[in-house]
Amino acid sequence: MNAPISGSAFIPADLPEPSFADLAHLPGMMPVRSQMLRTINFLKDPLASSLAMYNLHGRVVRRQDFGGWGVSLIGPEANELVMFNKDKIFSSSLGWNPVLENVFPRGLMLMDFDEHRVHRKTLSVAFKTEPMKHYFNELQSGIARGIAKWPNSGEFKFYPAIKALTLDLAAASFLGVPWGPDADKINRAFVDMVLAATGIIRKPLPFTQMRRGVQGRKFLCEFFGREIPKRRGVPGDDIFSQICNATNEDGVLLTDQEIIDHMNFLMMAAHDTTTSSISSMVHFLGLHPEWQDRIRAEIGAVKAETGGELTYEALGRLETIEMVFKESLRLIPPVPSMPRRAIKDFVFMNHHIPAGSHIGITPMVTHRMPDVWPDPDRFDPLRFTAENSRGRHKYAWVPFGGGGHMCLGLHFAYMQVKAFFFALLSQNRIELAPGYKGEFAMFPIPKPKDGLPLRIVAL
């Protein structure tokens, strides 16, 4: 089912693969005997090891974490150079393909330049105000149903519970109908695909995670493929129906395979990132209950205005939830680093970096730079008041990326997070379980190591 990766006029066919020698002039890691051991060490604590490299070498670091040699570019200026990509130096598809192409090929993030622009514009119909209002209603009722099923005052693990809920919510807003009898299989397929995308073995050999991921993809391709004919030409408010009927600038519909690939990718892009960010917010709100009180006061004020409901128009009033969201994403960004590949030579901070280099930009590190974020490890949502944000570099806070590939679901994510905490905190309090360690595995998508045990206590 995998469509071939189309070439791009911008990308040279003979792009070199820079070796250590080609990057030897840069500060950074030296060759070691066991690359595997280096990767394992990195994965033990990606944040600490990346910060250590930054403290030792600065904003341009030669690295070898996943086998081959590459270059980490750190800081707001690096983020701007790479994400804004004014001179079309960086390919997103060549960066992400090695990670995602076996299981999520031809997603938007795996396209470049003109092709990417055309597809992004086509998909963006599904993120305009009218469909967003529809998703908002679906989200609200799904969230109320989901929270009602959680134990009342009893301890449970929040992470698996919110992961299941965000998948259910995706069914409503992405598909327009419940997943039905296939729900468990769909969930399993996604889990397998995401694990495969980040597994160490990159070929679908028997008994490997990659094999399970590729099988999961086959299952989902068939699932979406069966549904497409039912949606073509039929108006619908869900994302899937919108995409089935979306046309490009020349009025041409997407092919079945394109729709399948976009749906698979969208589900992946939306699901684990939202799960991660809601979990980190719950973690910080549990550690800092005074912010729960502030949010509750804000909810009360909104309810007084609207007569009790959260309306689409009132979402902008939930500024405290928004600040907590932003600060949580600063400290625990759901996409801790983003890969690219340089298709031309370039110079950054007086360092010459050759074409073909694998480039990593790392929000996880930029978000902890003390000169940009004073006392960077401290949780302080007030960093994001309008006044405190003034003068900060536009690319200092980049959990949603930036430039042409900036997250297409950004507003959807804000809406979902606000609807969730409005429903949860109106009449409840989050209490972390005694002994909760508060540790997050930061890679590939952050999640609490112990599942985030807590109680939701009715007020």
Contacts with ligand HEM by CB under 6 A lie at 92, 108-109, 120, 266, 269-270, 273-274, 277, 334-335, 338, 399-401, 405, 407-409, 412-413
| Other C-beta atoms lying within 10 Å of the C-beta of residue 57 | 17
Sign of the CA dihedral running 446, 451, 453, 454: positive
Render 17-84 in DSSP notation, one character per residue.
Answer: ---HHHHTTSSBPPP-S-HHHHHHHHHH-HHHHHHHHHHHH-SEEEE-TTSS-EEEE-SHHHHIIIII
Alpha-carbon Rg for the chain, nearest whole angstrom, is: 22
Q: Quick one: 23 or 364, whose CB is closer to ligand HEM?
A: 364
Q: How far is the CB of 405 from ligand HEM (least distance, A)?
A: 4
- 156 forms bridges with which residues in the sheet? 454
Q: Quick one: 227 or 455, whose CB is closer to ligand HEM?
A: 227
Q: Which residue is nearest to ligand HEM (CB)?
A: 409
Q: Quick one: 212 or 443, whose CB is closer to ligand HEM?
A: 443
Q: How far is the CB of 270 from ligand HEM (least distance, A)?
A: 3
Q: How far is the CB of 120 from ligand HEM (least distance, A)?
A: 5
Q: Quick one: 199 or 339, whose CB is closer to ligand HEM?
A: 339
Q: Quick one: 38 or 402, whose CB is closer to ligand HEM?
A: 402
3-class SS at 201? coil
* Dist CA 42 CA 181 (whole Å): 40
Q: Are 276 and 452 in contact (CB under 8 A)?
A: no
Q: How far is the CB of 99 from ligand HEM (least distance, A)?
A: 10
CB proximity list for 264: less than 8 A, separation 6 or greater? 104, 107, 193, 217, 220, 221, 224
Q: Quick one: 211 or 285, whose CB is closer to ligand HEM?
A: 285
Residue 435 zone, left/alpha/beta (φ > 0; ψ -120 to 50; rest): left
Q: Which amino acid is present at 19?
A: S
With residues binned 3-state (H G I as helix, E B as strand, rest as coil), the percentages for the chain, rounded to 5, are 55, 10, 35
Q: Quick one: 71 or 211, whose CB is closer to ligand HEM?
A: 71
* Dist CA 383 CA 209 (whole Å): 41
Q: Quick one: 169 or 210, whose CB is closer to ligand HEM?
A: 169
Q: Quick one: 155 or 237, whose CB is closer to ligand HEM?
A: 237
Q: How far is the CB of 418 from ligand HEM (least distance, A)?
A: 12
Q: Are 434 and 304 in contact (CB under 8 A)?
A: no
Q: How far is the CB of 409 from ligand HEM (least distance, A)?
A: 2
Q: How far is the CB of 108 from ligand HEM (least distance, A)?
A: 4
* Dist CA 85 CA 50 (whole Å): 24
Q: How far is the CB of 151 from ligand HEM (least distance, A)?
A: 26
